[in-house]
Structure 1
């Protein structure tokens, strides 16, 4: 089979990867299965992991009014760490789900169930990525290092959540937004309430976007007994998504109010534009939500990079002011 007729089984491309992504086009052939295992061909996960980190860092800088060169490293380190640890988390997820993934249309082409990578090879790749993440983590202060190590617990539990709870998306939120706590602490040296509230906002946001994403697999999940909020909510999903939207915006706005010191009214107003406009973006997603249209579900899910970036930009402008 040649040209455009090649299938994912022939080319090795994962079925839900971005077509023409850099891994499939430019990465050396020997590295492609491992990069696919890390979801490097689907960068949206890295964005969704790093954005709460940047929220936490920028709000921490607004909180104490300090900014230095080390904050630039925290900003860059969060990006590097998010890429590496997202890859490690996805590798762990695919190791634990290797028998389930083969039974789901969207995931059957992943490297382990499709035979591109062995379980032993995946475990070695997992260790290599975790060590790189540890190297980044060790450049931060002691409190941030402790939080980083603690984050391994929800990461380890998440792949099993869909086996024992209807709320695996909540477990993903707990793991995926940990960076808000870590980046705040990396800047300030201690964890404060604004960071916790910001973290909870991120958890609500994850419940919003990952419920949308989960509808792609709802039918297959029902056949094999895997749980999700998409299956739990069913036709009531729009109501639940609206609740998660409101929680996301309200909690993030509260975090801003708690973080920005009194007397900096202009900075506070600008920073509050972040969650407000992010809420409008999420509302736009909700208006387009169609649980039967997988293509639309993927598009909406990926658009959350832009939704989360809105707050990053307004927090940064508030900091400059």
Structure 2
């Protein structure tokens, strides 16, 4: 069998990874199973973890009108930390889900159920990623370090949520949007109301995009008894998704209003364009939604990188006004 004609199972590729991703093309063969375990071949999760960090940082800079070289490090450090902690979190998720993943078509090719990585090897790899991320966290202020340590609780709980609640996406939202709290605090030295409201906006956004994502596995999940909002909402999902869209935009707009001083009306108006254009993108996803088209569901889920990125330049430009 030639490499060109090999199946994903034969090459070790994961079924829902990007075709021609850098891991499959460029990474040394010995590292590929571990990078796949960290989802390095599927960068969308890193973006979804990172973007709330950038929301929190830019909105904090807008709130107090201050920016310095340390903010550039927070910006970069959040990027590195998101890559590492997303990798550690996915490794933990795959360790806990190794028996379930083998029963689901989309996940059976993952490194642990396919036998590419042992559980012991995965635990060591998870610890390495988490320790490097902790080293980055230690460069932030004390309040941000405490928040970073507390973030491990929702990360640890999330993989088990689908076993006891129909709303595991809430637990994913609690974990994935923690960066909004952490980055705000890394800039200001304290946690404040606008950051909490921004965090809630992120959770609503996670409910939106991960319900779309979960519809890919709804049939397999029903067979093995795994719960999700996709199964809970069923054909009523579009109505729920619209409510999550409204909640995302409204809460983010409220966070902006609370963060920006009244005297800076021009900055406020520019910053408010951020949640508006994000909501416009999400509404575009709704127009293209087809619950029975798994390829389209995956495409729409991935497009949330662009949706979540849209507020960042508006917040950044508003900082200059």
TM-score (norm 1): 0.99
Q: Tell me how far 1:3 sits from its aligned partner.
A: 3.9
Taking the aligned partners of 2:4 and 2:210, their CA distance within structure 1 comes to: 31
* Partner residue, 2:305: 305
* Partner residue, 1:258: 258
* Partner residue, 2:225: 225
Residue 136 of structure 1 pairs with residue 136 of structure 2: yes
* Partner residue, 1:202: 202
Residue 294 of structure 1 pairs with residue 294 of structure 2: yes
* Partner residue, 1:91: 91
Q: Tell me how far 1:317 sits from its aligned partner.
A: 1.1
User: Any residues of structure 2 matched to 1:161-240 within 5 Å, and which?
Assistant: 161-240=161-240
Q: Tell me how far 1:320 sits from its aligned partner.
A: 2.0
Q: Secondary structure of the equivalent of 1:262?
A: coil
* Partner residue, 1:149: 149
Taking the aligned partners of 1:38 and 1:134, their CA distance within structure 2 comes to: 17
* Partner residue, 1:11: 11
* Partner residue, 1:64: 64
Taking the aligned partners of 1:256 and 1:57, their CA distance within structure 2 comes to: 12
Q: Secondary structure of the equivalent of 1:107?
A: coil
Taking the aligned partners of 1:9 and 1:288, their CA distance within structure 2 comes to: 31
* Partner residue, 2:283: 283
Taking the aligned partners of 1:207 and 1:261, their CA distance within structure 2 comes to: 30
User: Any residues of structure 2 matched to 1:265-276 within 5 Å, and which?
Assistant: 265-276=265-276
Write the deviation string for residues 45-99 of structure 1: whole angstroms up to 9, x where unpaired.
Answer: 0000000000000000011111000000000000000000000000000000000
Taking the aligned partners of 1:182 and 1:69, their CA distance within structure 2 comes to: 18
Q: Tell me how far 1:100 sits from its aligned partner.
A: 0.2
How many residue pairs get aligned? The number is 321
Taking the aligned partners of 2:81 and 2:143, their CA distance within structure 1 comes to: 17
Write the deviation string for residues 254-284 of structure 1: whole angstroms up to 9, x where unpaired.
Answer: 0000001111111111100000010010000
Write the deviation string for residues 163-192 of structure 1: whole angstroms up to 9, x where unpaired.
Answer: 000000010000000000000000000000
Taking the aligned partners of 2:6 and 2:21, their CA distance within structure 1 comes to: 16
* Partner residue, 1:246: 246
Q: Tell me how far 1:143 sits from its aligned partner.
A: 0.4
Say whether the 8 Å CA contact 2:249–2:276 is kept in structure 1: yes
Residue 33 of structure 1 pairs with residue 30 of structure 2: no
Q: Tell me how far 1:2 sits from its aligned partner.
A: 1.5
Unaligned runs of 5+ in 1: none
CA RMSD of aligned residues (A): 0.5
Write the deviation string for residues 121-169 of structure 1: whole angstroms up to 9, x where unpaired.
Answer: 0000000001011001000000000000000000000000000000000
Q: Secondary structure of the equivalent of 1:14?
A: coil
Q: Secondary structure of the equivalent of 1:140?
A: coil
Taking the aligned partners of 1:144 and 1:211, their CA distance within structure 2 comes to: 30
Write the deviation string for residues 195-250 of structure 1: whole angstroms up to 9, x where unpaired.
Answer: 00000000000000000000000000000000000000001000000000000000
Unaligned runs of 5+ in 2: none
Taking the aligned partners of 1:229 and 1:238, their CA distance within structure 2 comes to: 12
Q: Secondary structure of the equivalent of 1:245?
A: helix
TM-score (norm 2): 0.99
